[in-house]
Amino acid sequence: MARPIIHHRTAEFESIVEQIRADLKQIFQTSGEVLVLASSGTGAMEGAVSNTLCRGDRVLVVNSGKFGERWEKICGAFGIEVEEITVEWGRAVDPALIRQKLDKNPSIRAVLMQASETSTGIKNPTAKIAAITRERDDVILIVDGITAVGVFPLPFDELGIDVLVAGSQKAFMLPPGLSFAAMSTKAWEFNKTSDLPKFYFDFKAAAKSADKNTTPWTPAVSLVRGLSQVLKMFVGEGLENMHKRHAVFSSATRSAFEAMEMELFTKDEPSPALSVAVAPPDIGAGPLIKTLKEDFGITVAGGQDQAKGKIFRVSHIGYIDRSDTVAVVSAVEQSLKKLGHGFDFGSGAEAAARIISENL
């Protein structure tokens, strides 16, 4: 990405875009177009709403954490009525609830959700929810896959998701500044009647330009170039191997935390994008996170809102190798020991290393 900038209206750039389009289709597991936008993931989330819905429409938002709230705010800004399913933090949404809500409110036009909710570490049952929306011609499923695409299976065409959004800075291991959006045929049908204003995030304009291997507005050239390299790596590794890698790192980390007798914050099926544990209450998350940063140079995230000071979150996406995962677990052990917490020292690193060596 540090190479000289090439102009975007050139054959050289167009051939990069052509390759990216093909590779992204593989990663999203779709035969349709995956749009590439110059924005953070939130921009693609806004586009998912503004390109499919109409003013005054009613939608159902799954609020299973911090990012569920974002769907509500976007819909609010565009004059869309929001019905909410609030899920206890650390739990996944129950698909039966979604079916009930849709049955009771036939005016609902879309279900909006997170495939992987980073604030709590859960994985929502996207496949089961897609099975419900897929039956209905008048309801689309809009999925935030920002920490899901490339991390665990989410086959777009096969499941029947209608809009799937991702961003460059998560599984794609790039700096932030690019976002992605796949649209189903059903979503494009919704697009025909959608009357919400959009210009920069006009998906129809983006699709039309993509057809010519370009973008309607000036693309983030250096990031697009970086993307073409990352996608080459992905295609080389293979989607299944990528998914497996995340699953093993996540399983190893959770087993390590359990071996250390720490409570997992994520009660339902966890997202392999990250592992979330409740810090030992005698220590608290704050001092643990501080020690990890200062003594080991390791950044783990704390909790937000109701989970603040209680939990810590370890990411498994990005340039992370098998030894990194053990290193993080060992740093957590050493930090806890330094902070005076009593536990079976070494049990965590041992558990993590065992699972990784047995599975990768």
Query: Interface residues with its own copies (CB under 8 A)?
Result: 1-2, 5, 7-8, 10, 38-43, 46, 50, 73-74, 77-79, 167, 169, 175-177, 196-202, 216-223, 299
* CB-nearer residue toward its own copies: 5 or 240: 5
* CB-nearer residue toward its own copies: 50 or 325: 50
For residues 288 and 325, give the distance between their C-alpha atoms in angstroms, rounded to a whole number: 17
Identity at 352, one-letter amino acid code: A
For residues 307 and 312, give the distance between their C-alpha atoms in angstroms, rounded to a whole number: 9
- 202 three-state secondary structure: coil
Q: Write down the least CB distance from residue 225 to its own copies, Å.
A: 9
* CB-nearer residue toward its own copies: 186 or 316: 316
Backbone angles phi, psi at 84, to 5 degrees: -115, 140
Instruction: Output the CA torsion sign for 259, 262, 267, 273.
Output: negative
Q: Write down the least CB distance from residue 318 to its own copies, Å.
A: 9
Please state whether beta strands 58-63 and 108-114 pair in parallel, antiparallel, or not at all (unpaired): parallel
Q: 289 Cβ partners below 8 Å, 6+ apart? A: 300, 301, 302, 312
* CB-nearer residue toward its own copies: 76 or 238: 76
Please state whether beta strands 34-37 and 108-114 pair in parallel, antiparallel, or not at all (unpaired): unpaired
* CB-nearer residue toward its own copies: 262 or 328: 328
Q: Write down the least CB distance from residue 175 to its own copies, Å.
A: 4
- 286 three-state secondary structure: helix
* CB-nearer residue toward its own copies: 215 or 275: 215
Q: Write down the least CB distance from residue 97 to its own copies, Å.
A: 26
* CB-nearer residue toward its own copies: 2 or 193: 2
* CB-nearer residue toward its own copies: 81 or 157: 81
User: For residue 305, what is the DSSP state?
Assistant: G
Q: Write down the least CB distance from residue 149 to its own copies, Å.
A: 16
Bridge partners (DSSP) listed for residue 3: none
For residues 350 and 149, give the distance between their C-alpha atoms in angstroms, rounded to a whole number: 30
Joined together, the tokens standing for residue 314 give: 């370890």
For residues 259 and 66, give the distance between their C-alpha atoms in angstroms, rounded to a whole number: 29
Q: 75 Cβ partners below 8 Å, 6+ apart? A: 49, 53, 59, 61, 81, 82, 112
Q: Write down the least CB distance from residue 296 to its own copies, Å.
A: 16
Q: Write down the least CB distance from residue 215 to its own copies, Å.
A: 9
* CB-nearer residue toward its own copies: 80 or 129: 80
Q: Write down the least CB distance from residue 281 to its own copies, Å.
A: 25
For residues 115 and 130, give the distance between their C-alpha atoms in angstroms, rounded to a whole number: 11
Q: Write down the least CB distance from residue 188 to its own copies, Å.
A: 18
For residues 129 and 135, give the distance between their C-alpha atoms in angstroms, rounded to a whole number: 10
For residues 147 and 193, give the distance between their C-alpha atoms in angstroms, rounded to a whole number: 30
